Structure 1
Amino acid sequence: MKVTEEIKPLQRLLEASKFMLSDEVKERFQQNLKRFVIPKGRVLVNIGQVSPFLYFIEKGVMRTYYARGSEDITSLLVSDGDIVCIAESFLLQTLSNEVLETLEDTIVYAISYDAYRKLVEQDSYMATLAVKLLEQHLINFTDRVKVFKYLSVEERITYYVNQPSSLFRRIPDHYIATYLGTTAATFSRCLKSINFDKKS
Protein backbone atom coordinates (compact mmCIF):
# COMPACT_ATOMS: atom_id res chain seq x y z
CA MET A 1 0.00 0.00 0.00
CA LYS A 2 1.38 3.38 -0.98
CA VAL A 3 0.83 6.14 1.55
CA THR A 4 1.88 9.71 0.81
CA GLU A 5 4.55 11.34 2.95
CA GLU A 6 2.91 13.25 5.76
CA ILE A 7 3.37 17.01 5.65
CA LYS A 8 3.02 18.72 8.99
CA PRO A 9 0.34 21.46 8.89
CA LEU A 10 2.59 23.99 10.62
CA GLN A 11 5.27 23.34 7.98
CA ARG A 12 2.69 23.99 5.26
CA LEU A 13 1.53 27.16 7.02
CA LEU A 14 5.04 28.58 7.36
CA GLU A 15 5.97 27.73 3.78
CA ALA A 16 2.81 29.22 2.35
CA SER A 17 2.96 32.35 4.51
CA LYS A 18 6.33 33.27 2.98
CA PHE A 19 4.63 33.84 -0.36
CA MET A 20 0.95 34.37 0.28
CA LEU A 21 0.60 36.75 3.19
CA SER A 22 1.28 40.46 3.16
CA ASP A 23 3.38 41.91 5.95
CA GLU A 24 0.25 43.51 7.35
CA VAL A 25 -1.62 40.20 7.50
CA LYS A 26 1.39 38.40 8.98
CA GLU A 27 1.62 41.02 11.70
CA ARG A 28 -2.10 40.80 12.44
CA PHE A 29 -1.90 37.01 12.56
CA GLN A 30 1.07 37.09 14.94
CA GLN A 31 -0.67 39.59 17.18
CA ASN A 32 -3.55 37.16 17.62
CA LEU A 33 -1.28 34.25 18.58
CA LYS A 34 -0.57 33.63 22.25
CA ARG A 35 2.37 31.47 23.33
CA PHE A 36 1.81 29.02 26.18
CA VAL A 37 3.97 26.48 27.95
CA ILE A 38 1.53 23.80 29.08
CA PRO A 39 2.54 21.09 31.56
CA LYS A 40 2.14 17.38 30.89
CA GLY A 41 -1.26 15.97 31.81
CA ARG A 42 -3.23 19.19 31.37
CA VAL A 43 -6.76 18.86 29.96
CA LEU A 44 -7.35 21.70 27.51
CA VAL A 45 -10.84 20.70 26.42
CA ASN A 46 -13.11 18.34 28.33
CA ILE A 47 -16.28 16.54 27.28
CA GLY A 48 -19.16 19.01 27.38
CA GLN A 49 -16.93 22.08 26.87
CA VAL A 50 -16.51 24.19 23.76
CA SER A 51 -13.05 24.02 22.15
CA PRO A 52 -11.92 27.68 22.40
CA PHE A 53 -8.51 27.64 20.69
CA LEU A 54 -6.69 26.32 17.66
CA TYR A 55 -3.22 25.23 18.81
CA PHE A 56 -0.01 25.28 16.76
CA ILE A 57 2.40 22.89 18.48
CA GLU A 58 5.97 24.11 18.58
CA LYS A 59 7.16 21.23 20.75
CA GLY A 60 5.37 18.52 22.68
CA VAL A 61 2.64 15.92 22.33
CA MET A 62 -1.14 16.05 22.66
CA ARG A 63 -3.91 13.57 22.12
CA THR A 64 -7.66 13.60 21.75
CA TYR A 65 -9.75 10.74 23.10
CA TYR A 66 -13.33 9.70 23.72
CA ALA A 67 -14.90 7.42 26.30
CA ARG A 68 -16.19 3.94 25.49
CA GLY A 69 -17.55 2.48 28.69
CA SER A 70 -14.79 2.64 31.28
CA GLU A 71 -12.11 2.81 28.58
CA ASP A 72 -10.76 5.85 26.78
CA ILE A 73 -9.94 5.50 23.09
CA THR A 74 -7.27 7.70 21.53
CA SER A 75 -8.64 9.27 18.35
CA LEU A 76 -5.72 11.56 17.47
CA LEU A 77 -2.03 11.87 18.35
CA VAL A 78 -0.24 15.09 17.44
CA SER A 79 3.22 16.48 18.10
CA ASP A 80 5.85 19.00 16.99
CA GLY A 81 4.66 20.91 13.91
CA ASP A 82 1.03 19.80 14.10
CA ILE A 83 -2.11 21.92 14.46
CA VAL A 84 -4.85 20.67 16.77
CA CYS A 85 -8.26 21.43 18.20
CA ILE A 86 -11.46 19.47 18.70
CA ALA A 87 -12.43 20.27 15.11
CA GLU A 88 -16.23 20.04 15.23
CA SER A 89 -16.42 21.83 18.57
CA PHE A 90 -14.02 24.59 17.50
CA LEU A 91 -15.40 25.24 14.01
CA LEU A 92 -19.08 25.03 15.00
CA GLN A 93 -18.63 26.25 18.60
CA THR A 94 -20.58 23.28 19.91
CA LEU A 95 -20.00 21.12 22.98
CA SER A 96 -17.18 18.62 22.58
CA ASN A 97 -17.66 14.87 22.87
CA GLU A 98 -13.90 14.38 23.14
CA VAL A 99 -11.04 15.38 25.44
CA LEU A 100 -7.86 17.21 24.40
CA GLU A 101 -4.89 16.75 26.73
CA THR A 102 -1.11 17.14 26.77
CA LEU A 103 1.09 14.03 27.04
CA GLU A 104 4.34 15.99 27.41
CA ASP A 105 5.25 19.46 28.58
CA THR A 106 4.13 21.30 25.47
CA ILE A 107 4.87 24.68 23.88
CA VAL A 108 2.05 26.01 21.71
CA TYR A 109 0.86 29.10 19.91
CA ALA A 110 -2.89 29.48 20.29
CA ILE A 111 -5.46 31.51 18.39
CA SER A 112 -9.01 31.96 19.64
CA TYR A 113 -12.05 31.07 17.56
CA ASP A 114 -13.13 34.72 17.25
CA ALA A 115 -9.66 35.82 16.09
CA TYR A 116 -9.39 32.90 13.65
CA ARG A 117 -12.82 33.55 12.15
CA LYS A 118 -12.16 37.28 11.82
CA LEU A 119 -8.84 36.72 10.04
CA VAL A 120 -10.34 34.17 7.64
CA GLU A 121 -13.36 36.33 6.82
CA GLN A 122 -11.47 39.59 6.37
CA ASP A 123 -8.48 38.42 4.36
CA SER A 124 -8.67 36.32 1.21
CA TYR A 125 -5.10 35.05 1.63
CA MET A 126 -5.85 33.78 5.14
CA ALA A 127 -8.99 32.12 3.79
CA THR A 128 -6.97 30.42 1.05
CA LEU A 129 -4.39 29.31 3.59
CA ALA A 130 -7.13 27.85 5.81
CA VAL A 131 -8.42 25.87 2.82
CA LYS A 132 -4.92 24.55 2.08
CA LEU A 133 -4.49 23.44 5.68
CA LEU A 134 -7.88 21.70 5.52
CA GLU A 135 -6.87 19.97 2.29
CA GLN A 136 -3.65 18.71 3.86
CA HIS A 137 -5.55 17.53 6.93
CA LEU A 138 -7.96 15.58 4.70
CA ILE A 139 -5.06 13.98 2.82
CA ASN A 140 -3.43 12.90 6.08
CA PHE A 141 -6.78 11.62 7.37
CA THR A 142 -7.39 9.66 4.16
CA ASP A 143 -3.97 8.03 4.50
CA ARG A 144 -4.85 6.96 8.04
CA VAL A 145 -8.12 5.44 6.80
CA LYS A 146 -6.13 3.45 4.21
CA VAL A 147 -3.90 2.11 6.99
CA PHE A 148 -6.94 0.84 8.89
CA LYS A 149 -8.72 -0.49 5.80
CA TYR A 150 -5.91 -2.40 4.14
CA LEU A 151 -3.46 -3.40 6.87
CA SER A 152 -3.65 -6.02 9.58
CA VAL A 153 -3.02 -5.00 13.19
CA GLU A 154 0.62 -6.16 13.00
CA GLU A 155 1.10 -4.33 9.69
CA ARG A 156 -0.46 -1.18 11.17
CA ILE A 157 1.94 -1.27 14.12
CA THR A 158 4.93 -1.90 11.85
CA TYR A 159 3.89 0.95 9.59
CA TYR A 160 3.30 3.35 12.48
CA VAL A 161 6.52 2.78 14.45
CA ASN A 162 8.55 3.27 11.25
CA GLN A 163 7.05 6.67 10.46
CA PRO A 164 9.22 9.76 11.11
CA SER A 165 6.25 11.26 12.97
CA SER A 166 5.81 8.16 15.17
CA LEU A 167 5.49 8.85 18.89
CA PHE A 168 6.76 5.38 19.76
CA ARG A 169 9.14 5.72 22.73
CA ARG A 170 7.75 9.18 23.56
CA ILE A 171 4.38 8.20 25.05
CA PRO A 172 2.88 5.13 26.79
CA ASP A 173 2.17 2.17 24.52
CA HIS A 174 -1.51 1.93 25.46
CA TYR A 175 -2.24 5.35 23.91
CA ILE A 176 -0.71 4.23 20.62
CA ALA A 177 -2.47 0.86 20.87
CA THR A 178 -5.98 2.35 21.10
CA TYR A 179 -5.09 4.86 18.38
CA LEU A 180 -4.22 1.91 16.11
CA GLY A 181 -7.36 0.02 17.05
CA THR A 182 -5.85 -2.67 19.25
CA THR A 183 -5.01 -3.47 22.89
CA ALA A 184 -1.82 -2.78 24.82
CA ALA A 185 -1.20 -6.54 25.11
CA THR A 186 -1.52 -7.07 21.35
CA PHE A 187 0.64 -4.04 20.68
CA SER A 188 3.39 -5.40 22.95
CA ARG A 189 3.17 -8.86 21.40
CA CYS A 190 3.37 -7.46 17.86
CA LEU A 191 6.38 -5.34 18.76
CA LYS A 192 8.22 -8.47 19.84
CA SER A 193 7.33 -10.25 16.61
CA ILE A 194 8.68 -7.38 14.51
CA ASN A 195 11.82 -7.06 16.67
CA PHE A 196 11.04 -3.71 18.25
CA ASP A 197 12.15 -3.12 21.81
CA LYS A 198 11.19 0.07 23.56
CA LYS A 199 14.33 -0.08 25.67
CA SER A 200 16.67 -0.32 22.65
Structure 2
Amino acid sequence: MESTKPLQSMLEASKFVLAPSVRDRIKETFKPFMIPKGRVLVDLGQISPSLYFIEKGVMRTYYLRGSEDITSLLVSDGDIVCIAESFFLQKLSNEVLETLEDTIVYSISYDAYRKLVEEDVYMAGLAVRLLEQHLINFTDKVKVFKYLSVEQRIEYYINHPSSVFRRIPDHYIATYLGTTGATFSRCLKAIGPERYKNSN
Protein backbone atom coordinates (compact mmCIF):
# COMPACT_ATOMS: atom_id res chain seq x y z
CA MET A 1 0.00 0.00 0.00
CA GLU A 2 1.37 3.39 -0.93
CA SER A 3 2.15 5.74 1.94
CA THR A 4 -0.35 8.58 2.27
CA LYS A 5 2.07 10.93 4.10
CA PRO A 6 -0.64 12.65 6.17
CA LEU A 7 1.52 15.52 7.37
CA GLN A 8 2.58 16.48 3.84
CA SER A 9 -1.01 16.13 2.62
CA MET A 10 -2.21 18.37 5.44
CA LEU A 11 0.36 21.04 4.61
CA GLU A 12 -0.38 20.91 0.87
CA ALA A 13 -4.12 21.16 1.48
CA SER A 14 -3.54 24.14 3.75
CA LYS A 15 -0.92 26.03 1.72
CA PHE A 16 -3.25 28.91 0.93
CA VAL A 17 -4.34 29.49 4.53
CA LEU A 18 -1.31 28.73 6.74
CA ALA A 19 1.21 31.48 7.26
CA PRO A 20 4.74 30.47 6.10
CA SER A 21 6.06 30.79 9.66
CA VAL A 22 3.42 28.34 10.90
CA ARG A 23 4.17 25.88 8.09
CA ASP A 24 7.86 25.96 9.02
CA ARG A 25 7.02 25.49 12.70
CA ILE A 26 4.84 22.47 11.91
CA LYS A 27 7.66 20.85 9.95
CA GLU A 28 10.05 21.50 12.83
CA THR A 29 7.59 20.21 15.43
CA PHE A 30 6.49 17.00 13.69
CA LYS A 31 9.27 14.42 13.36
CA PRO A 32 8.66 10.94 11.91
CA PHE A 33 9.59 7.85 13.90
CA MET A 34 8.70 4.17 14.04
CA ILE A 35 6.77 2.56 16.90
CA PRO A 36 7.08 -1.24 17.13
CA LYS A 37 4.07 -3.55 16.93
CA GLY A 38 2.44 -4.21 20.29
CA ARG A 39 3.55 -0.96 21.94
CA VAL A 40 1.07 0.63 24.37
CA LEU A 41 1.16 4.40 23.85
CA VAL A 42 -1.54 5.27 26.38
CA ASP A 43 -2.59 2.92 29.18
CA LEU A 44 -5.61 2.98 31.47
CA GLY A 45 -5.26 5.75 34.04
CA GLN A 46 -2.65 7.67 32.05
CA ILE A 47 -3.05 11.03 30.33
CA SER A 48 -2.83 10.83 26.53
CA PRO A 49 0.36 12.87 25.88
CA SER A 50 0.44 13.17 22.09
CA LEU A 51 -1.53 13.42 18.87
CA TYR A 52 -0.33 11.01 16.18
CA PHE A 53 -0.45 11.31 12.38
CA ILE A 54 -0.07 7.79 11.00
CA GLU A 55 2.03 7.55 7.86
CA LYS A 56 1.96 3.76 7.70
CA GLY A 57 0.70 1.15 10.15
CA VAL A 58 -2.29 0.28 12.30
CA MET A 59 -3.35 1.30 15.81
CA ARG A 60 -6.40 0.59 17.90
CA THR A 61 -8.02 1.95 21.03
CA TYR A 62 -9.86 -0.37 23.40
CA TYR A 63 -11.59 -0.44 26.77
CA LEU A 64 -12.20 -3.24 29.23
CA ARG A 65 -15.56 -4.86 29.88
CA GLY A 66 -14.92 -7.31 32.66
CA SER A 67 -11.96 -9.41 31.51
CA GLU A 68 -12.63 -8.72 27.81
CA ASP A 69 -11.08 -5.88 25.84
CA ILE A 70 -13.43 -4.19 23.37
CA THR A 71 -11.95 -2.39 20.36
CA SER A 72 -13.43 1.10 20.11
CA LEU A 73 -11.37 2.49 17.22
CA LEU A 74 -9.22 1.13 14.39
CA VAL A 75 -6.98 3.57 12.51
CA SER A 76 -4.37 3.12 9.79
CA ASP A 77 -2.41 4.85 7.02
CA GLY A 78 -3.31 8.54 6.78
CA ASP A 79 -5.40 8.71 9.97
CA ILE A 80 -4.96 10.93 13.01
CA VAL A 81 -5.36 9.40 16.47
CA CYS A 82 -5.21 10.07 20.18
CA ILE A 83 -7.41 9.25 23.16
CA ALA A 84 -9.45 12.35 22.39
CA GLU A 85 -11.06 13.06 25.78
CA SER A 86 -7.81 12.42 27.60
CA PHE A 87 -5.65 14.43 25.19
CA PHE A 88 -7.84 17.50 24.75
CA LEU A 89 -8.97 17.72 28.39
CA GLN A 90 -5.71 16.34 29.85
CA LYS A 91 -7.59 13.87 32.04
CA LEU A 92 -6.92 10.24 32.91
CA SER A 93 -7.78 7.85 30.11
CA ASN A 94 -10.32 5.02 30.42
CA GLU A 95 -9.03 3.52 27.17
CA VAL A 96 -5.79 2.05 25.84
CA LEU A 97 -4.01 3.06 22.62
CA GLU A 98 -1.69 0.46 21.09
CA THR A 99 0.02 -0.36 17.80
CA LEU A 100 -1.04 -3.47 15.87
CA GLU A 101 1.73 -3.20 13.28
CA ASP A 102 5.13 -1.55 13.18
CA THR A 103 3.85 1.99 12.68
CA ILE A 104 5.50 5.11 11.27
CA VAL A 105 4.03 8.26 12.78
CA TYR A 106 4.46 11.98 13.22
CA SER A 107 3.52 13.14 16.69
CA ILE A 108 2.93 16.38 18.53
CA SER A 109 2.73 16.80 22.29
CA TYR A 110 -0.23 18.46 23.98
CA ASP A 111 1.81 21.54 24.93
CA ALA A 112 3.19 21.94 21.40
CA TYR A 113 -0.29 21.47 19.93
CA ARG A 114 -1.78 24.13 22.21
CA LYS A 115 1.06 26.52 21.43
CA LEU A 116 0.50 26.17 17.68
CA VAL A 117 -3.27 26.56 18.00
CA GLU A 118 -3.10 29.58 20.30
CA GLU A 119 -0.39 31.46 18.39
CA ASP A 120 -1.86 31.36 14.89
CA VAL A 121 -5.47 31.75 13.81
CA TYR A 122 -4.89 29.64 10.70
CA MET A 123 -3.58 26.72 12.73
CA ALA A 124 -6.57 27.07 15.02
CA GLY A 125 -8.85 26.84 11.98
CA LEU A 126 -7.03 23.72 10.81
CA ALA A 127 -7.48 22.13 14.23
CA VAL A 128 -11.21 22.86 14.06
CA ARG A 129 -11.43 21.19 10.66
CA LEU A 130 -9.61 18.12 11.96
CA LEU A 131 -12.04 17.89 14.87
CA GLU A 132 -15.00 18.36 12.51
CA GLN A 133 -13.77 15.44 10.40
CA HIS A 134 -13.36 13.33 13.54
CA LEU A 135 -16.95 14.12 14.53
CA ILE A 136 -18.23 13.27 11.04
CA ASN A 137 -16.41 9.92 11.15
CA PHE A 138 -17.88 9.19 14.57
CA THR A 139 -21.38 10.06 13.34
CA ASP A 140 -20.95 7.73 10.36
CA LYS A 141 -20.01 4.90 12.73
CA VAL A 142 -23.08 5.56 14.87
CA LYS A 143 -25.28 5.34 11.77
CA VAL A 144 -23.70 2.02 10.80
CA PHE A 145 -24.43 0.57 14.22
CA LYS A 146 -27.94 2.01 14.37
CA TYR A 147 -29.26 1.01 10.97
CA LEU A 148 -27.31 -2.09 9.90
CA SER A 149 -27.53 -5.66 11.15
CA VAL A 150 -24.37 -7.41 12.38
CA GLU A 151 -24.02 -9.16 9.02
CA GLN A 152 -24.44 -5.88 7.14
CA ARG A 153 -21.95 -4.12 9.43
CA ILE A 154 -19.34 -6.78 8.72
CA GLU A 155 -19.83 -6.63 4.95
CA TYR A 156 -19.83 -2.82 5.03
CA TYR A 157 -16.61 -2.74 7.05
CA ILE A 158 -14.54 -5.26 5.13
CA ASN A 159 -15.39 -3.54 1.83
CA HIS A 160 -14.77 -0.01 3.12
CA PRO A 161 -11.64 1.75 1.75
CA SER A 162 -10.31 2.39 5.28
CA SER A 163 -10.73 -1.24 6.36
CA VAL A 164 -7.72 -2.99 7.92
CA PHE A 165 -9.35 -6.37 7.29
CA ARG A 166 -6.64 -9.03 6.82
CA ARG A 167 -3.99 -6.76 8.34
CA ILE A 168 -4.96 -7.53 11.94
CA PRO A 169 -6.56 -10.43 13.87
CA ASP A 170 -10.26 -10.91 13.17
CA HIS A 171 -11.26 -10.76 16.85
CA TYR A 172 -10.20 -7.08 17.05
CA ILE A 173 -12.51 -6.27 14.14
CA ALA A 174 -15.28 -8.41 15.63
CA THR A 175 -15.38 -6.49 18.93
CA TYR A 176 -15.09 -3.20 17.03
CA LEU A 177 -18.24 -4.15 15.10
CA GLY A 178 -20.08 -5.27 18.23
CA THR A 179 -20.02 -9.01 17.63
CA THR A 180 -18.08 -12.16 18.51
CA GLY A 181 -15.25 -13.87 16.70
CA ALA A 182 -17.48 -16.85 15.90
CA THR A 183 -20.18 -14.65 14.34
CA PHE A 184 -17.58 -12.69 12.39
CA SER A 185 -16.12 -15.92 10.98
CA ARG A 186 -19.57 -17.26 10.08
CA CYS A 187 -20.50 -14.05 8.27
CA LEU A 188 -17.26 -14.05 6.30
CA LYS A 189 -18.08 -17.52 5.01
CA ALA A 190 -21.58 -16.39 4.07
CA ILE A 191 -20.28 -13.30 2.25
CA GLY A 192 -17.79 -15.34 0.25
CA PRO A 193 -14.17 -14.43 -0.58
CA GLU A 194 -15.03 -13.41 -4.14
CA ARG A 195 -16.89 -10.39 -2.73
CA TYR A 196 -13.95 -9.00 -0.76
CA LYS A 197 -12.83 -5.82 -2.44
CA ASN A 198 -9.73 -5.57 -0.26
CA SER A 199 -8.50 -9.14 -0.69
CA ASN A 200 -4.78 -9.70 -1.13
Work out whether the TM-score is over 0.5.
yes
Of 98, 101, 109, the match for 2:106: 109
* CA offsets 1:98-124 (integer angstroms, 9 cap, x no match): 000000000000000000001001100
Displacement of 1:18 in angstroms is 2.0
Q: How does 1:80-91 map to 2 (within 5 A)?
A: 80-91=77-88
Any stretches of 5+ residues in structure 1 without a counterpart? 1-7
Q: Structure 1 residues 11 and 36, CA, compared in 2 at 3 Å: closer, same or farther?
A: closer
Contact 1:10 1:83 in 2 (8 A): no
Displacement of 1:15 in angstroms is 4.4
Of 151, 166, 170, the match for 1:169: 166
**Corresponding residue number in structure 1 for 2:70:** 73
Local SS of the residue matching 1:89 = helix
Any stretches of 5+ residues in structure 2 without a counterpart? none
- Figure out how many residues of one structure are paired with residues of the other and give that number: 193
Local SS of the residue matching 1:75 = strand
Matches of 2:7 and 2:91, distance apart in 1: 25
Q: Structure 1 residues 9 and 147, CA, compared in 2 at 3 Å: closer, same or farther?
A: farther
Local SS of the residue matching 1:107 = strand
Contact 2:44 2:93 in 1 (8 A): yes
Local SS of the residue matching 1:19 = coil
Matches of 2:8 and 2:128, distance apart in 1: 15
Displacement of 1:196 in angstroms is 3.0
Matches of 2:193 and 2:74, distance apart in 1: 20
**Corresponding residue number in structure 1 for 2:60:** 63
Matches of 1:153 and 1:159, distance apart in 2: 10
Matches of 1:42 and 1:140, distance apart in 2: 25
Letter paired with 1:103: L
Matches of 1:35 and 1:19, distance apart in 2: 24
Displacement of 1:35 in angstroms is 1.9
Local SS of the residue matching 1:20 = coil
Matches of 2:189 and 2:7, distance apart in 1: 34
57-66 or 190-199, larger mean C-alpha shift? 190-199
Of 152, 157, 176, the match for 1:155: 152
Displacement of 1:41 in angstroms is 0.3
Letter paired with 1:146: K
Of 31, 36, 43, the match for 1:39: 36
Displacement of 1:11 in angstroms is 8.1
TM-score under structure 2 normalisation? 0.91
* CA offsets 1:40-83 (integer angstroms, 9 cap, x no match): 00000000111000000000000000000010000000000000
Contact 1:12 1:133 in 2 (8 A): no
Matches of 2:70 and 2:181, distance apart in 1: 12
Cα RMSD (Å): 1.9
**Corresponding residue number in structure 1 for 2:141:** 144
Letter paired with 2:161: P
Matches of 2:135 and 2:9, distance apart in 1: 14
Q: Structure 1 residues 14 and 144, CA, compared in 2 at 3 Å: closer, same or farther?
A: farther
Displacement of 1:16 in angstroms is 3.0
Q: Structure 1 residues 11 and 154, CA, compared in 2 at 3 Å: closer, same or farther?
A: farther
Contact 2:42 2:96 in 1 (8 A): yes
